[in-house]
Copies of this chain bind each other. A is one copy, B any other.
Amino acid sequence: MKLVLDAMGGDHAPTETVAGAVDYARRSGHTVILTGLEDIIQAELAQHDIAGLDLVVVHASESIGMDEKPAMAARRKRDNSMAVGMRLVKAGEADAFCTVGHTGGALTAGHMVFRRIPGVHRAVLTTPFPCAKGLFILGDIGANPDCKPEWLAQWGQMLAIYAQARLGKEQPKVALLSNGEEEGKGKELTRATEPLLAELLGEAYIGVVEPKEMIAGAADVIVTDGFTGNIVIKLAEAIASYLMQVIKAEIMARPVAKIGAALARPAFKAAGARLDDREYGAGLLLGLNGIVTVGHGRSRRDRVYFALRNTAQLVEANMLERVRTEVAASVRR
């Protein structure tokens, strides 16, 4: 297995990206190819004991900064660390590409280098998301704010294959996010998508779900447009952090409650760990003719490690070939 990591991507690159890659190479025995400014990456590698590890540096003279306009930067800087890494995958010199850099940059570079799998309407950005039953796959979470029904239906099909590879669900249940099943609920897009999903997925499609059912774990895959999906992940994070802030403020205002909270700390930590997205690793840009995973921009070495591990999982599951085959079969039907 050979994975490419964009060493220059993310808020804490290259120190944390390189450290995560070293850790992953050690624990997996896989090859990790680091793309970016060679001198800088080598200087970071010199901080680690890398004897016997399969770490390769491939020079890229440019990179896409977290504060740049990503699409423009990806187009202008042809030798950026993302495009250089993706071209290695395209040339067959590596199996998959991973970055914790700019999602928009990965989107543009990914389309430029890999193009879409034949028959795929649009690539979908997707991530595992926590719920009462573990994780489910949510997509689109931001690549396509305005969508057509047939895109969403096809994403249901592709995300089911991803859920098999990523969550180990043999027969994933697929649902469409809406605001209710009753008369007058849903919007034009969801109403037009429903019959297409039912036709394409048969019994694997379980219908529309509300946010409450989504969080309860009613489905393994939840399809939505990229505007709604992006609002969902951002709102969930905002609500959770606001709630914890309110609880903390009320505890700090009460001396006895402070003692109580100290005793309950292990429970709070365990709850935090269940909700933490560290181990979800990376989201996936699905529908491109190559595996492109995108982790959180704030990733430190442990998250970079998980991002690489999740990327390897998709290669091992032969996910891309299965998506190609399924899509081709549907197009022929």
Docked CA distance A174–B72 (Å)? 31
Q: Mark A117-153, 1 if CB is under 8 A from B, else 0.
A: 0000000000000011000000000100110000000
Are A212's CB and B234's CB within 8 A? Answer: yes
Q: Mark A85-129, 1 if CB is under 8 A from B, else 0.
A: 000000000000000000010010000000000000000000000
Interface size on A, residues (CB 8 A): 69
Contacts of A188 in B (CB 8 A): 145-146
Are B239's CB and A146's CB within 8 A? Answer: no
Q: With an 8 A cutoff between CB atoms, is A332 at the interface?
A: no
Minimum CB–CB distance for A222 against chain B, Å: 12
Q: Mark A269-281, 1 if CB is under 8 A from B, else 0.
A: 0110011000000
Docked CA distance A264–B107 (Å)? 47
Of residues 169 through 191 on chain A, the ones whose CB sits less than 8 Å from some CB of chain B are 177, 179-180, 182-188, 190
Q: With an 8 A cutoff between CB atoms, is A46 at the interface?
A: no
Docked CA distance A237–B216 (Å)? 12
Are B234's CB and A236's CB within 8 A? Answer: no
Which of B179, B216, B234 contacts A230, CB < 8 Å? B179
Are A179's CB and B234's CB within 8 A? Answer: yes
Docked CA distance A195–B254 (Å)? 48
Q: With an 8 A cutoff between CB atoms, is A263 at the interface?
A: yes
Q: With an 8 A cutoff between CB atoms, is A259 at the interface?
A: yes
Q: With an 8 A cutoff between CB atoms, is A232 at the interface?
A: yes
Docked CA distance A266–B250 (Å)? 8
Max chain B CB contacts within 10 Å: which of A69, A214, A235, A244?
A235
| Smallest CB-CB A-B distances: 6 pairs | A260-B263, A260-B264, A145-B187, A257-B267, A179-B230, A211-B235
- CB pairs A–B below 8 angstroms (30 shown): A70-B183, A72-B183, A104-B183, A104-B184, A132-B245, A142-B179, A145-B179, A145-B187, A146-B187, A179-B234, A187-B225, A190-B227, A212-B238, A214-B235, A214-B238, A215-B235, A215-B238, A235-B235, A235-B239, A240-B243, A243-B275, A246-B274, A247-B271, A250-B270, A253-B270, A254-B266, A257-B264, A257-B265, A260-B261, A261-B263
| Known A243-B275, A250-B274, A261-B263; further 17 A-B contacts with Cβ < 8 A | A71-B183, A71-B184, A104-B182, A104-B183, A145-B179, A145-B185, A177-B231, A187-B225, A187-B227, A210-B234, A235-B236, A240-B243, A249-B271, A250-B267, A260-B264, A260-B267, A261-B267
